[in-house]
Structure 1
């Protein structure tokens, strides 16, 4: 971050509570395996098609010492190293999207039977999901988009690329906020980031959201971008 003295208003987001929106608590070091055919989120969700191993709250240290935590979903066994898909989110990596969809009319027309319940709000089903700075159990304050998240994202991408099961190639994907954050992180050009897939996002927050007009609006688009 630039060395500039800027006073910011800070209000702590609500502390996560066990049992709320699928939150199960802070469990660094915990590993569990969901077997193929199981339904971890309930009997009315989509059964898993393969075994999935979940590593809870894997710690990454950002360049300024802040501790960021991610949940890692990956194959239980693998013959060769695999690429990683990273979702960057402020909404809580342990909050099930199934519990958060009722905030929208008709659950955004998404049937519970179409999802496993492992996916997170606006994210994939499932992926490696990282809580942004200040969210969940992470250090610091949420810096809604911008350069702080970009720098944190760079550090996390490079940390994920070095995990023993990863082949050093990292992609990003997600919707809305999870899409916008990809533009900021990709602009930092982390060497291991090979592609981003932002959908229903924007790249010019000022013109496309806060001061939009007919002449400045751009269509929200779905695309895969190589970086």
Structure 2
């Protein structure tokens, strides 16, 4: 049977470094951003943050996904991870997106560091609390292999594999959670349904379990205004 939806293989345009948060792959690069760092002219960091860029995680079918890991610098204890899962781009922040929204969603730049993934948690707020924040480029997004998929079984299986891989990393205490809103909330339902053993909690907000009934055809009537 042919696939119900044909995938586009030809790139619309070559991505440009610096445009919409795009950066070249930085596999193997690690750095520490010091307290007070304010590289996006937004909210300064309150503590030192260690970043592992483009950490490779291999899926069960051999596809390679890439993640950025933000964690407290100089921590001697193993810590839990909180995963932000979406296809938006792991370096595409709320600072990039908010100008496109009405009144910038009433969020001033001073509330964000620019390290946060769009609709995800800000490492500036959570790393000082003893958490690692992990932002993933899902299948087909950013530098990750494969064809992009939005929600569904493939996304869920990849999420399972990433959760279990994170739990085994030398800085992790074996506990992984998920938290974020909208598309990043919806992905949590699918991944949690796979029951990865190391996923201890999810915190989805402004998400849905059925886009047809809860968004596009609420009450049975099609509308794009909801």
- After TM superposition, the score normalised by the length of structure 2 is 0.88
Q: Which residue of 1 aligns with 2:128?
A: none
**Tell me, what secondary structure is at the counterpart of 2:184?**
helix
Structure 1 segment 33-48 matched on structure 2, within 5 A: 33-42=32-41, 45-48=42-45
Q: Which residue of 1 aligns with 2:25?
A: 26
| Cα deviation code 1:133-178 (max 9, x no counterpart) | 1100111111110000000000000000011000000000111000
Q: Which residue of 2 aligns with 1:206?
A: 212
Would you say the 8 A contact 1:15–1:136 is kept in 2?
no
- Quick one: structure 1 residues 160 and 61, their matched pair in 2 at CA, closer, same or farther if it must change by over 3 Å? same
Show structure 1 runs of 5+ residues with no match: 216-227
How far the C-alpha of 1:22 sits from its partner, in A, is 2.8
Structure 1 segment 89-168 matched on structure 2, within 5 A: 89-126=86-123, 127-168=133-174
**Tell me, what secondary structure is at the counterpart of 1:213?**
helix
| Cα deviation code 1:69-106 (max 9, x no counterpart) | 00000111113110000000100001222022111122
How far the C-alpha of 1:23 sits from its partner, in A, is 2.5
| Partner Cα distance (1:110, 1:166) in 2 | 32
Would you say the 8 A contact 1:23–1:96 is kept in 2?
no
| Partner Cα distance (1:164, 1:202) in 2 | 34
**Tell me, what secondary structure is at the counterpart of 1:173?**
strand
Would you say the 8 A contact 1:150–1:184 is kept in 2?
yes
Residue 178 (structure 1) aligned with residue 184 (structure 2)? yes
More helix by share: 2
- Quick one: structure 1 residues 186 and 15, their matched pair in 2 at CA, closer, same or farther if it must change by over 3 Å? farther
Alignment RMSD: 1.7
- Quick one: structure 1 residues 78 and 115, their matched pair in 2 at CA, closer, same or farther if it must change by over 3 Å? same
Q: Which residue of 2 aligns with 1:80?
A: 77
| Partner Cα distance (1:154, 1:75) in 2 | 25
Q: Which residue of 1 aligns with 2:197?
A: 191
Show structure 2 runs of 5+ residues with no match: 124-132, 222-226
| Partner Cα distance (1:16, 1:160) in 2 | 29
- Quick one: structure 1 residues 15 and 136, their matched pair in 2 at CA, closer, same or farther if it must change by over 3 Å? farther
Aligned residues: 210
Residue 58 (structure 1) aligned with residue 55 (structure 2)? yes
